Chains A and B, each alone.
Chain A
Amino acid sequence: MSTDMMVHLEGVIKRFGTMTALRGIDLKLQRGCCLGIFGPNGAGKTTLLKILATLTRPSAGTVHIAGYDVVKEAEKVRPLLGVLSHRTFLYGRLTAWENLQFYGRMFGIKQLAERITEVLQIVDLLAHAHQLVRTYSRGMQQRLAIARAILHYPTLLLLDEPYTGLDKHAVSRLQELVLHLRSVPCTIIMSTHDLHGGLDLYDEIAIQCRGKIVYSGPSLGSDVQGFEQLYSAYVG
Chain B
Amino acid sequence: MQKLWSIIRSSIFHAIIMYVSMIIAIYLVFIYAPTEKMQGIVQKIFYFHVSSAITMFFAFFVVCVASIMYLWKDSDWWDAVALSAAEIGVVFCTLVLITGPIWARPIWGTWWSWDPTLTLTLVLWLIYVAYLMLRIEVYDPKRARFAAILGIVGFVDVPLIRWSVEKWRTLHPKPVLIQEGGTTGLPFAMWQTFVVCLVAFLLLFFYLLRERVSVAQSRHALEGLRHEIDEILAG
A residues lining the B interface (CB < 8 Å): 15-20, 59, 210, 236
Contact = CB atoms under 8 A, between A and B. Distances in A.
Interface string B128-170: 0000000000011100100000000000000000000000000
Contact of B139 (A17, A20, A59, A210): A17
- A-B interface, 6 closest residue pairs, ranked by CB to CB distance from nearest: A18-B224, A18-B223, A17-B139, A17-B141, A19-B227, A18-B227
B180 interface: no
A210 B226 CA distance: 15
Given A16-B141, A17-B141, A210 B235 contact: yes
A16 B227 CA distance: 11
Contacts of A59: 74
A19 B141 CA distance: 10
Contacts of B144: 17
**Interface core residue of A15, A16, A18, A236 (most chain B CB under 10 Å):** A18
Interface string B202-235: 0000000000000000001101101100010001
A18 B139 contact: yes
A17 B80 CA distance: 12
Nearest to B234: A210
B74 to A, nearest CB: 8
B235 A17 contact: no
Given A17-B139, A18-B220, A59-B74, 14 more contacts: A16-B140, A16-B141, A17-B140, A17-B220, A18-B221, A18-B223, A18-B224, A18-B226, A18-B227, A19-B227, A20-B227, A210-B231, A210-B235, A236-B235
Nearest to A16: B141
Contacts of B74: 59
B4 to A, nearest CB: 36
Nearest to B140: A17
Nearest to A209: B235
A17 B231 contact: no
Contacts of B221: 18
A57 to B, nearest CB: 9
